[in-house]
Each structure stands twice: as C-alpha cells, then as structure tokens.
Amino acid sequence: MIDFGVPREVRDLETRVGLTPAGVLALAQAGQRVYIEHDAGVGAGFTDEDYRRAGGHIVYSATEVYGRADVVLKVARPTAVEHALFRPNQTIFAFMHLPVASPDLLEALQARELTAVATEMITAPDGSHPILVPASEIAGRMVPIIAGQWLRSDQRPTGGHGLGILLSGVPGVPSAVVVIVGGGVLGRNAARACLGLGAEVTILDSDLRKLQQVDEQFDGRVNTMFANTFNLERAARFADVLVGAVLVPGQRSPILINRNVVRQMRPGTVIIDFAIDEGGCVETSRPTTLRDPVYVEEGIIHHCVPNITAAYARTTSYALTNALLPYLLLLGEHGLEAALTTHPGLSDGVNVYQGKIASETVAKALGLEMGGGA
C-alpha cells in the first residue's frame, strides 16, 4: 500500500487541486490510502465530505499531509513555505518547470533526497505529454475569453488601453486578427476557439508537419506560416492578438518575438504568452498573476499568467486527474521502482531521483551535471 497525500495549494488564487474525489475513489478501490488536507478541494467545488465519501482521509494541516504521504500530489510546484515540510525519500508529483523555478526548490529536493516527478514531462508512447495535454487544451480554449476582455475599449491597464475590437467583427467591419505562435495542442485549441467566434486566425510553427495538420483539421480556414524570423516579425505587426503557444518541456522557452518586434506592434495589441511557464517566448514577457494579470510594455498589453487554468479550477482538476490517474494506479500496484522500470514514459518525468538530478534535459537547461546532488 502507498500513502498518497493531497495538500491544499498555497499560491494566491491557486484553486486547482491535485486529485479529485473521483481519483481518490479509484485509488481507494485499488487498496491505496489517500490523505487530503482540509478544504484542499474547496476552490474547485469539492468538499471534505465529497472526499470522505470517496474513501479519503481528511487531515487538518499540510504538515500532516506531508508527514503521512509517501507520494504527494500537487498541481503547482511547491513554494518555499512547503519546502520545510518535505519528508526524506518522499515523491512529489507537480508541474515542476525546474529550469525556471527558484533555485531553492532544487536545493530542498536534493537536501531531503526527494524524488520529483514533473508531470509536464511524462510522455506517452507516441511522444505526447498526456498530463500537459488537458492543461494545454483548456488554456487554448480560454484565448477568446482573455483576448475579448483586454481588447475592450473600457479596459485601461496602467499605460495603455484596449483596441476596442470585437473578435468576430460584424458585417462590413473586419474581425480581429489572431496570430498564434506554435501549432501544438494549445495552439490548435486556441485556433479552434477563436475561429469559432469568427476571428481571422494565423498559426506559425517551424514544424511543417504541424502546419499540415492544422490545414487539414481546419479545412484551410486557418492561415499557416513557417515560423522563420521574417514571418514572425511580419505576422506580429498585423496581429490584434498575439498568442505564445511554444513549449519545450524541461527547457526554457526560446525567445521568438524580441523587444524590437514588440515596438513595431500597434499600441493596444494583446499578447497572451502561455510559454511563461517556461520563461516566455516574447522578450518583454514577465510572469503575472490571476489577481493582477496584465501590464503594459512598449504600448502592448501583456497577459502572462503561469497558472491561468486555475481560473477554471473544477474543469482543470477533473482533466488533470483523468490524465494522471493511470500512472498513480501503476505506482500503487507496483511501487515507484517497478513503475519507473516498466513505464519509460513515467520515468521521463523524473527530474530528481532520491536527491540526484535524473533528467538530462533539465540538467542541461540548468547547466548542471546528471546525478548532481546535495
């Protein structure tokens, strides 16, 4: 039996939860024990009683969750407050994004000899990232909601204002131009959502196969461009909304739109940089929060919220649990060592193993050696 633990997320307005009651029920039926911190799921609409009925055990502090759990299930990476709660030889699942995390997280993982599984780096046999996919789907479908809000004329963040453009346009008036950098899951979902509202959509990617998939999926209704420097600059200049949908799990995102290009964009244009999880793909991007989501730089409205899907915490928590649960059941049945041996895709997510850096990708991004420890 493995003791799983679900602490309450502590970041501001982080209302997602590491496991839903449905996930707890599945683990309990498989003979595992799950400890849930009091009110851990309340932000996503799950009560303590929901978890009790599913077979979970409610505890009343994060200290107790970390103290009891062999495996801790989080959404966002642990904060400095949580580092002190780590128990030696524990395993933690979360969106780690270690290459852009504060160095004290890696130091704490190493000092306590923890195993850290970055859920964004777990891979499926086809090379996709099954835990990252639902988060990307949700984020992509949020684009017209975010863009529509900040394009409004009455939205006036310090130093700027919205363009006053309706995404769909009306007869006789053109629709908004949405430029999406990245033709992966997030980019295609953003295109689907914006196209459905009537916006003019262009996707850029350096992978011609992805552009072919976009063309086929949308029957040619989405413009496609190869993401070279010339095209990126050209597309950015005519965009009303620019969406950064570039992600290389385990690495810092490449800067594809530099400050000089941002200066050439029309004042009031909205940049939504979803790559901010890995540092951002626009040079002028910096992390914002759900409480204070935008700022204006070079006259452009920037929306760069790393945990943006927390705005729809219930949907996101369900989607993440659905994707993660098969790995947790595997872990519960076979234990960590056997699960990593029999499922290479799970081992791809291991950034730190018993205090030692275990991911070549992450080690390279951090400029450290494989196997480096405390």
For the annotated catalytic residues, the residue numbers are 97, 277
Cβ-Cβ contacts under 8 Å for 190 (sequence gap 6 or more): 139, 140, 141, 143, 178, 180, 243, 245
> How large is the C-alpha radius of gyration of the chain?
21
Q: What is the dihedral of CA 132, 134, 139, 141, to 10 degrees?
A: 150
Say if strands 91-95 and 115-118 run parallel, antiparallel, or are unpaired.
parallel
Instruction: Characterize 233-265 residue by residue with b for buried, 16 or more Cβ atoms within 10 angstroms of its Cβ, and e for exposed.
Output: bbbbeebbbbbbbbbebbebbebbbeeebbeeb
Backbone angles phi, psi at 319, to 5 degrees: -65, -40
- Nearest-angstrom CA–CA distance, 222 and 38: 47
- Nearest-angstrom CA–CA distance, 34 and 118: 20
Question: How many CB atoms sit inside 10 A of residue 157's CB?
Answer: 16
Instruction: Identify the DSSP state of 281.
Output: S
Q: Cα dihedral sign for 153, 282, 129, 225?
A: positive
- The identity of residue 109, as a single letter, is L
User: Within 13 Å of residue 249, how many CA atoms lie on the same side as its CB?
Assistant: 23
Residue 290's nearest CA partner among 109, 183, 70, 142 is: 142
